[in-house]
Amino acid sequence: MNNIEYINLSLELHLFFDRIMKEHSIFLQLAFTEKEKNFKTIANNFQNVFSNFLNTAITLANNNISNNILSSNEIVTKNTLEAEIKTNFLTKTNINTKITEKELMLRSGNINLSQQLLNNIEILNQQTLEAIKQLIDFKEDILNSVLECKMYTTNYPLLIAHIRNEAIMYYNLLSKVQRKEEFTKSYIYEQEQFWNNIMKEHAEFIRGLLDPSEKQLIITADKFADEYESILSNSNNLETTINKSLNETINFRNFKLAGEEGILNCKIRSIIIPLLADHVLREANHFIRILNEFKEQRNYF
């Protein structure tokens, strides 16, 4: 991996995953009871840490990121800012919307390689790796406490495991980039498997967070979960599953987008907070971009 690829991949990972990590921290914080004030505080601290990392990455990425990433809608969507504002209003969570405004102003361009940029990226990567490790341990502690009936939270145990697994994936990807290792075809296969499973679990979470009266939406979410289960059960050959995964995820992305807009406009009955709806939409957009790059036989992701 050369220096241009190193910078490019580092920035792509930060712009997508730092936001994901900070939002995981928000979702954890909102789900704790008053009994777990200490856990609320820790989750809020993680939100601040990853907000700072994201803010740094945005500064470094401006004019140094590809248009392909900016146009994928995985960094922010047209609804992210509104979702944050409404989540702030509904929960009194202190979400820094200025970061999103800054992201919306990002511009693409060819990387202006310099030793200073390389040094800044290397420092950011190393600091982030240390923080991800701590966040993984925090999520693992929460999951174990819930499974041992020592803690109550309104998050499903599967959701806590789900966000822990995403943090582990981020750690593994960023570690690989930091070591400047090439991404092989077998690693591409692992990525497809991973995100197909994430999409399946999204469908299951959506199904469980919708109001029981939203019968048609529940049926649709259940169908998506079954479709991803089928893809995962029959994905022995990467070449034959890419198109299935891509088509399914485009359809699921459209379902998520309609769902988010329904939630933002108070047209859907659920206990899904607006930011969570935008969060899962961005992850679908990320997976679509990855799958399209697989099809183009890129050397990474």
Pairwise CA distance, residues 135 & 130, whole Å: 9
- With beta carbons less than 8 A apart as the criterion, state whether 164 and 153 touch: no
Mean pLDDT of 68-92: 96
The confidence band for 238, taking pLDDT boundaries of 50, 70 and 90, is low
**pLDDT reported for residue 299:** 43
- With beta carbons less than 8 A apart as the criterion, state whether 170 and 129 touch: no
**pLDDT reported for residue 34:** 93
The confidence band for 297, taking pLDDT boundaries of 50, 70 and 90, is low
The confidence band for 301, taking pLDDT boundaries of 50, 70 and 90, is very low
- Residue 290 CB contacts under 8 Å (≥ 6 apart), including other chains: 191, 192, 195, 301
Mean pLDDT of 46-61: 97
Pairwise CA distance, residues 222 & 199, whole Å: 12
CATH of the domain spanning 182-301, picked from 1.20.1260.120, 1.10.1060.10, 3.40.1010.10, 3.40.50.920 = 1.20.1260.120
Helical (H) or strand (E) element with 186: helix 185-209
pTM: 0.94
**pLDDT reported for residue 47:** 97
pLDDT at position 251 over 60: yes
135-149 confidence digits (pLDDT tens)? 999 999 999 999 999
198-217 confidence digits (pLDDT tens)? 999 999 999 999 999 999 99
pLDDT at position 91 over 90: yes
**pLDDT reported for residue 298:** 47
pLDDT at position 296 over 80: no
Structure token digits, residue 215: 């019968």
pLDDT at position 80 over 90: yes
- Residue 166 CB contacts under 8 Å (≥ 6 apart), including other chains: 17, 20, 24, 198
The confidence band for 300, taking pLDDT boundaries of 50, 70 and 90, is very low
Domain 1-181: CATH architecture, name and number where available: Up-down Bundle (1.20)
Mean pLDDT of 66-92: 96
The confidence band for 237, taking pLDDT boundaries of 50, 70 and 90, is low
- Residue 270 CB contacts under 8 Å (≥ 6 apart), including other chains: 209, 210, 211, 214, 263
Q: Outline which parts of the chain fall under CATH 1.20.1260.120.
A: 1-181, 182-301
In percent, the amount of the chain with pLDDT more than 90 equals 86
**pLDDT reported for residue 189:** 81
The confidence band for 294, taking pLDDT boundaries of 50, 70 and 90, is confident
Structure token digits, residue 197: 């499973």
In percent, the amount of the chain with pLDDT more than 70 equals 96
